[in-house]
Structure formats: structure tokens, C-alpha cells
Amino acid sequence: MPHEDTFLERDSKPTSIKKLEESGLLREEIIEQIKLQQPLYLALLSTGLLIVGLALQPSISGLTACLLPLLGFSVALKIGAHDLRTGQLAFYLKRILYSPWEITRRVLWSGTCLSPLERQILEDQGIAVTDALQTEARKLLPVFPHLHSLSNILLILTLEGTGDGLLVLRTYSAMPDPLTVFVWVLALLCSVLSIPPLLRMRVR
């Protein structure tokens, strides 16, 4: 028998969010993505200091220090995922929805040039990016660029470097024990692989 559409299949239409409704929701998600990094930062700092304290104890195996690079690598991947999501949302707001805020923000604080289409959008919204406005906006530039990323890099690489150093100092006498060699390689690999997610600036 041929398939017969039901009443629901014939008459129902999929609902969708209109572009004007999306803008506010997406900006809220960007803020949430940034907020989620703060607990990660504090958790890594607290747990890292605890592991350093344990690794310094003579009664505890020096291999414990390997936990720092492993933990740092895991957090680096998680932070990279949050930054990627934030970058994707900002890209959609600017290039698809043509959010006046995203366009203006990049001009004032990122130094990007306006395209003819972006100029027209700002003119339609009554937004004028004057030289005087840009001069005033420069007062709100951060002391260092990419402050969130810089703080994450410093914390993670410092803890991982401390873990690698403690691991070598505490287990050097056991070389060339296979387990020690494996842990050294694992710790170094985690430290090296943590760098790309942190250096690839994917924040807005």
C-alpha cells in the first residue's frame, strides 16, 4: 500500500528561531562559555598545588608528579573547546547575523576595517564609528592582548613544567627503568600537546 501521510505530517510545520531572536540568545551563550572557564581555572590551580605537595613528599612515589601534565593537558583541551565554541558563536553573529555590536566591537578594539556591507549596516542602525570614538575606545584596551588565554597559558604551562621537573628529579635515579621511561615520555607528550589548544587564539 502507498504510504499515506497522517494529518500531523501534512499540516505541521517545523518551528524555527528567527534571526532577530537568536542574537540575544547567542550572546548569552558566549558569556556562559567564558564563565565556565573560571571554575576550570580555580580547580586546576587548587588540584595542581595539591599534587605538587604530594609529589614533594619523600614517602610518596615521584611518579605522582606525572599527574600534573596529565591534568594540565585535559584542562587545556577543555578550555580550547570553550574558546572554539565562543569563536564560532561570534563568527555567526558577525558574518551571518551581522550583529552591530560584533561589527562595532571588532572595529573599536580589534582594529579591523569595515567592509562596505558592514558600513551600510551600521549606517542603517544609526551607528557612526568616528575617529573620536575610536580614540576614546582605546582607553578600554587590555594591558596585554588575550588576557584570558594568557592567564590559562601561564597557569597550565607552569604547573606542567613543575610536574615535569619534579618527575625528573624524583625518579632520575630509577633510570632506565621501563616504567619510569614510559612516565617521562607520557608527561612530556602531554606538556607538548597542551600548547596548541592554548596558543590557537579562538576567543572573540
As a whole number of angstroms, the distance between CA 76 and CA 48 comes to: 14
Question: What amino acid is encoded at 59 in this protein?
Answer: S
As a whole number of angstroms, the distance between CA 146 and CA 104 comes to: 18
As a whole number of angstroms, the distance between CA 193 and CA 38 comes to: 22
Which among 188, 171, 170, 193 is positioned nearest to 180, based on CA atoms? 171
pLDDT in tens, 126-163: 999 888 999 999 999 888 888 888 888 999 999 999 99
pLDDT in tens, 19-48: 666 777 777 777 777 777 788 888 889 999
Cβ-proximal residues to 75 (8 Å cutoff; 6+ apart), any chain: 40, 43, 44, 156
